[in-house]
C-alpha cells in the first residue's frame, strides 16, 4: 500500500464520553491501513504532549481484541486535559516547544478529539503552523456529550449519553410509579448541560407506548421560572400520583442566576472560566416540597451519563470510529485546520455522511437546542427534535464481559 502519511499523534481533551475511545480506534485503524508509521498517544492531551508524555498505541491495539475492547471502554483511554493554549503572539515559546516535540518524534499529523475548547487548540496550532510555514497538519475530531459543536449535525458521544439517559429515566419512572403512595411524589432528575440543553432534551426520548416520560423537561435555552414549575407540578399532581421533572444543570432564573446557586454552593470555576455546577435538582426538590408538601426525590445522573459504555448506542460508536478514520483520510490528503463533521442526509431511514469543515467556524462556538424544537410552553421538546435524536440512540454494542462485568482497556500505569 502506498504510504500516505508518516508518524501521527492522537490526543483526547475535555470531558470524556462513552465513545471517545472509538475515535482513537478509527484513527489508528485508518492510519495503519494507509501505511502510517508510528501512532503516538498523548497522555493527557496537549499538556502531556508538551512534557513528551507519549505512548505508542501499537502496544495496545495491534490485536483485534485490543481494538474491540477499546471501542467499549468509556472515558479517555489516553487521559484528557483542560489546558488552554495562550494567544500565539507573545507566547511563541509554548508553540515552539510543541513543534519541537512534533519534529523530535517526526509527527506529520496531529489529531485532537474533543469539544469546543479542544477545537480551539486545533485552531491555534494550525494557525501557528500556517503563519510559520510548518508542514504538520492539525485535525479536530468532534466529541462531546453536550452535542453543542456547530456545523456538525451532531457530536459523537451524544447518542450514547442520550440512550443511557432515556433508559435510566424509563427505569426510575417505573420505580417511582410502582410504590403505593399516600401523597404525590415528585421525581426530579438532573442532567448535565451547562449552556446547551441537548442532554436533558434526550429525556424526551423516554416517552413511548410503555412510558409516559417526564411531565416537564427544562432546558437552559429558556429562562426557568420556579413558580411556574411549581404550578405545573401542582396541576399534574391533580391527575396522577407521581410527577417527573427533568432539569438541565444549567437552568437559570430571569436574573441570570443558576438555580443551583440558590443553595449557596458550587461557585468554583474551571480553567476556561466556566462555573462548575451541580445540585440544581436538590435545590428544586427543596423548593417543591416546601411549596407543595409533596414528597420529592432528586436524582443527579452525574458522570454516570457520560461514562455508561455498557449502554452505548451502536450508531454512535460507529460514527465515532468514522469521525476518526475520516480525519486521517483528510490529513493524508493534505488538509489541516479542519474538523470532521457529520452531515445528516435523511432521518428515516437514517443516513449520515462525513465531511470536513474549517475549524475557524467551529472553535469556541456553541450550538444550543434550536428554539423551534422547544415546545411553546417551554417545558417540552417537539416531534422534530425526536426525529432528530431517535436515530442517534439506535443499536447496541454489547460489552465484552470479564467476570460478570464489562471489560475495559486501560493504560498499564493506571493499574497498580
Residue 154 within binding range of a second copy, rule CB under 8 A: no
Binding residue count for a second copy, defined by CB under 8 A: 71
Q: Residue 343 CB, nearest distance to a second copy (Å)?
A: 21
Q: How many CB atoms lie within 10 A of CB 45?
A: 26
Q: What is the DSSP string of 303-345?
A: THHHH-GGG-BHHHHHHHHHHHHHHHHHHHTT--SEEEEEEEE
How far is Cα 40 from Cα 127, in angstroms, rounded to an integer?
A: 22
Residue 166 within binding range of a second copy, rule CB under 8 A: yes
Which one, 172 or 228, has the nearer CB to a second copy?
A: 172
Residues 221-260 that bind a second copy (CB under 8 A): 239-240
Residue 211 within binding range of a second copy, rule CB under 8 A: yes
Residues 179-208 that bind a second copy (CB under 8 A): 179-180, 205-206, 208
Active-site pick, 117, 120, 146, 316:
146
Q: Residue 293 CB, nearest distance to a second copy (Å)?
A: 12
For 114, list phi and psi in degrees, rounded to 5: -175, -170
Look up residue 372 and give its three cell numbers: 423551534
Q: How far from 252 is each of 59, 171, 196, 272, 290, CA to CA, in Å?
A: 47, 28, 12, 20, 20
Query: Segment near a second copy (CB under 8 A), from 118-126, 161-169, 331-339, 359-367?
Result: 161-169
Q: Is the peptide bond before 253 cis (omega within 30 degrees of 0)?
A: no
Which one, 7 or 167, has the nearer CB to a second copy?
A: 167
Q: What is the DSSP letter of 207?
A: -
Residue 175 within binding range of a second copy, rule CB under 8 A: yes
Q: How far from 279 is each of 92, 283, 300, CA to CA, in Å?
A: 41, 6, 7
Residues 12-71 that bind a second copy (CB under 8 A): 12, 16, 44-45, 47-48
117 is catalytic: no
Residues 328-347 that bind a second copy (CB under 8 A): none
Which one, 80 or 292, has the nearer CB to a second copy?
A: 80
How far is Cα 281 from Cα 268, in angstroms, rounded to an integer?
A: 18
Residue 145 within binding range of a second copy, rule CB under 8 A: no
Which one, 208 or 334, has the nearer CB to a second copy?
A: 208
Q: Residue 295 CB, nearest distance to a second copy (Å)?
A: 8
Q: Residue 12 CB, nearest distance to a second copy (Å)?
A: 8
Strand 7-12 relative to strand 39-42, pairing: parallel
Which one, 232 or 306, has the nearer CB to a second copy?
A: 306
Residue 178 within binding range of a second copy, rule CB under 8 A: yes
Q: Residue 273 CB, nearest distance to a second copy (Å)?
A: 16
Q: Which residues of 266-276 are buried (b: 16+ CB within 10 A; e: fewer)?
A: beeeeeeeeee
Q: Which of 277, 308, 322, 338 contacts a second copy by CB under 8 A? A: 308
Which one, 18 or 356, has the nearer CB to a second copy?
A: 18
Strand 185-191 relative to strand 242-248, pairing: parallel
Q: What is the DSSP letter of 369?
A: P
3-state secondary structure of 367: coil
Residues 354-393 that bind a second copy (CB under 8 A): 390, 393
How far is Cα 337 from Cα 137, in angstroms, rounded to an integer?
A: 7
Q: Which of 8, 259, 299, 339 contacts a second copy by CB under 8 A? A: 299
Q: What is the DSSP letter of 196?
A: -
Would you say 187 and 245 are in contact if contact means Cβ atoms under 8 Å apart? yes
Which one, 83 or 224, has the nearer CB to a second copy?
A: 83
Would you say 115 and 14 are in contact if contact means Cβ atoms under 8 Å apart? yes
Would you say 28 and 70 are in contact if contact means Cβ atoms under 8 Å apart? no
Residue 318 within binding range of a second copy, rule CB under 8 A: no
Residues 394-413 that bind a second copy (CB under 8 A): 394-396, 398, 401-410
Q: Which of 306, 329, 357, 379 contacts a second copy by CB under 8 A? A: 306
Mind telling me the catalytic residues?
146
Amino acid at each position: 500500500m502506498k504510504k500516505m502519511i508518516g508518524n501521527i499523534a492522537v490526543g483526547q481533551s475535555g470531558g470524556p464520553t462513552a465513545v471517545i475511545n472509538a475515535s482513537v480506534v478509527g484513527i489508528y485503524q485508518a492510519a495503519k491501513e494507509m501505511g502510517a508509521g508510528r501512532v503516538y498517544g498523548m497522555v493527557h492531551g496537549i499538556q502531556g504532549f508538551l512534557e513528551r508524555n507519549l505512548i505508542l498505541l501499537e502496544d495496545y491495539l495491534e490485536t483485534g481484541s485490543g481494538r474491540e475492547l477499546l471501542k467499549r471502554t468509556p472515558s479517555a483511554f489516553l487521559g484528557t486535559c483542560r489546558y488552554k493554549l495562550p494567544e500565539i503572539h507573545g507566547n511563541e515559546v509554548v508553540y515552539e516547544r510543541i513543534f519541537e516535540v512534533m519534529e523530535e518524534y517526526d509527527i506529520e499529523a496531529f489529531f485532537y478529539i474533543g469539544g469546543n475548547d479542544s477545537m480551539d487548540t486545533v485552531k491555534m496550532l494550525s494557525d501557528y503552523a500556517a503563519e510559520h510555514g510548518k508542514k504538520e497538519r492539525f485535525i479536530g475530531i468532534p466529541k462531546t456529550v453536550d452535542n453543542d459543536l456547530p456545523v456538525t449535525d451532531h457530536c459523537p458521544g451524544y447518542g450514547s449519553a442520550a440512550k443511557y439517559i432515556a433508559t435510566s429515566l424509563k427505569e426510575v419512572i417505573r420505580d417511582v410509579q410502582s410504590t403505593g403512595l399516600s401523597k404525590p411524589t415528585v421525581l426530579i432528575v438532573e442532567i448535565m448541560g451547562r449552556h446547551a440543553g441537548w442532554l436533558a432534551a434526550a429525556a424526551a426520548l423516554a416517552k413511548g407506548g410503555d412510558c409516559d416520560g417526564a411531565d416537564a423537561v427544562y432546558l437552559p435555552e429558556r429562562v426557568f421560572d420556579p413558580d411556574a414549575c411549581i404550578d405545573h407540578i401542582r396541576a399534574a399532581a391533580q391527575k396522577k400520583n407521581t410527577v417527573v421533572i427533568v432539569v438541565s444543570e444549567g437552568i437559570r432564573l430571569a436574573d441570570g442566576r443558576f438555580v443551583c446557586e440558590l443553595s449557596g454552593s458550587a461557585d468554583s470555576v474551571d480553567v476556561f472560566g466556566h462555573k462548575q455546577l451541580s445540585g440544581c435538582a436538590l435545590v428544586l426538590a427543596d423548593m417543591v416540597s416546601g411549596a407543595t408538601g409533596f414528597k420529592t426525590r432528586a436524582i443527579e445522573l452525574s458522570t454516570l451519563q457520560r461514562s455508561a459504555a455498557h449502554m452505548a448506542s451502536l450508531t454512535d460508536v460507529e460514527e465515532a470510529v468514522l469521525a476518526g478514520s475520516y480525519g486521517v483520510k483528510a490529513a493524508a490528503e493534505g488538509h489541516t485546520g479542519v474538523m470532521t463533521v457529520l452531515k445528516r442526509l435523511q432521518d428515516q431511514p437514517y443516513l449520515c455522511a462525513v465531511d470536513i469543515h474549517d475549524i475557524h467556524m467551529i472553535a469556541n462556538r456553541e450550538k444550543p437546542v434550536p428554539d423551534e424544537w422547544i415546545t411553546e410552553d417551554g417545558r417540552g421538546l417537539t416531534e422534530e427534535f425526536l426525529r432528530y435524536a431517535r436515530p442517534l440512540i439506535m443499536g447496541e454494542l454489547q460489552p465484552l464481559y470479564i467476570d460478570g462485568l464489562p471489560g475495559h482497556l486501560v493504560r498499564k500505569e493506571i493499574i497498580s
